[in-house]
Amino acid sequence: MGYRVVVVGATGNVGREMLNILAERQFPVDEIAALASRKSIGTEVSFGDKTLKTQDLDAFDFAGWDMALFAVGSDATKNYAPKAAAAGCVVIDNSSLYRYDPDVPLIVPEVNADAIVGYSKKNIIANPNCSTAQMVVALKPLHDRARIKRVVVSTYQSVSGAGKEGIDELWDQTKSVYNPVDDKPAKKFTKQIAFNVIPHIDVFMEDGSTKEEWKMVAETKKIIDPSIKVTATCVRVPVFVGHSEAVNIEFEDHLDEDEARDILREAPGVMVIDKREDGGYVTPVECVGDYATFISRIRQDSTIDNGLNLWCVSDNLRKGAALNAVQIAETLGTRVLKKG
């Protein structure tokens, strides 16, 4: 016996990817429903070798469904997630709405799967921010060995993190650069994204950081350890899919690069590609469509005691969003609901 599963926001980038990954990983589904806003009712989406027609989210009855994977913004989630949860359907939410709620577990299954038991307080589980998800997969096994004191991270985040509008803007602007009569001003982003980088993701906060940077700090503390100090600079780059991060880590205990490399090679969800030669590292183009978080450029930081640097790359639509949500669903199934 399998599960009755709902995907909310099934016509968006992340919703479509959720359906793909549920099928790829052969999640035990008895019945699946694809939901979208009223303007997208009837749109066809793929689920393995099947084609689903989207149903009206506003009119949908969640009673009798086991779990709902939400891939819509915080406003829609605020309206519909409590209704699904109250009907007995466990919500796995990809928005930022519930991530910092102390009664809602924030889960990366390779890192803190045991926290899944906290779902019952609100019948809701939160998926972390895409840039956080890949980083904590790399940090947790190193923290278990040598205790992380401080993390300094600079991100190189692809435009797909801003949705279809972000992808379209990069595509249109890139073409327009070569056509002097075709000007494509910035709309989704604050400045031109083609052939440029923008050190600004989400809104600015009072201390000068952006909300994206604050998310990485707060989520790392909640998922791994509240004592870890984190400082982040988040940058949007002209890459379609795949987030990259340059991570500097300071530990309480000494950890040499060779041992760190061995630890990461054995860590769940991690693939180490680290050769000190031309091309001996992973770039965003190479990680697209893959489940793994790739780690390269592991080396000592000689400027501090007990320091390491590493390069971290992952498909943000997969591990950063859809894959992590499906992994949460798998964990919920095997550890709690136990139907599949």
Binding site for NADP(+), by residue number, is: 11-14, 39-40, 160-161, 180, 316
Q: Give binding residues for phosphate as ranges.
A: 99
Contacts of 247 (CB under 8 A, 6+ apart): 135, 138, 139, 151, 152, 153, 309, 310, 311, 312
* Active-site residue, 130 included: yes
Positions at the binding site for substrate: 157, 236
Q: Which of 7, 89, 3 lies closest to 52, judged by CA?
A: 7
User: 3-class DSSP state for residue 4?
Assistant: strand
Residues β-bridged to residue 251: 148
Torsion, Cα 326 98 121 22, to 10 degrees, reads -10
Torsion of CA 194, 197, 202, 208, to 10 degrees: -150
Q: How far apart are CA 285 and CA 245, in angstroms?
A: 14
Which listed residue (89, 143, 234, 243) is catalytic? 243
DSSP for 196-215?
Answer: --BS--S-B-TTS-BHHHHH
Q: Which residues contact 14 (CB under 8 A, 6 or more apart)?
A: 71, 94, 317, 321, 322
The 29-36 sheet, strands edge to edge? 55-56, 29-36, 3-8, 67-70, 90-93, 124-126
Q: Output the known binding site.
A: 11-14, 39-40, 99, 157, 160-161, 180, 236, 316
What whole-number distance in Å separates Cα of residue 198 and Cα of residue 327? 31
Instruction: Write down the catalytic residue from 89, 130, 234, 287.
Output: 130
CB distance 270 to 189 below 8 Å: no
Asked about 312 being catalytic, the answer comes back as: no
Tokens of 20: 């793909």
- Annotated catalytic residues are 130, 243
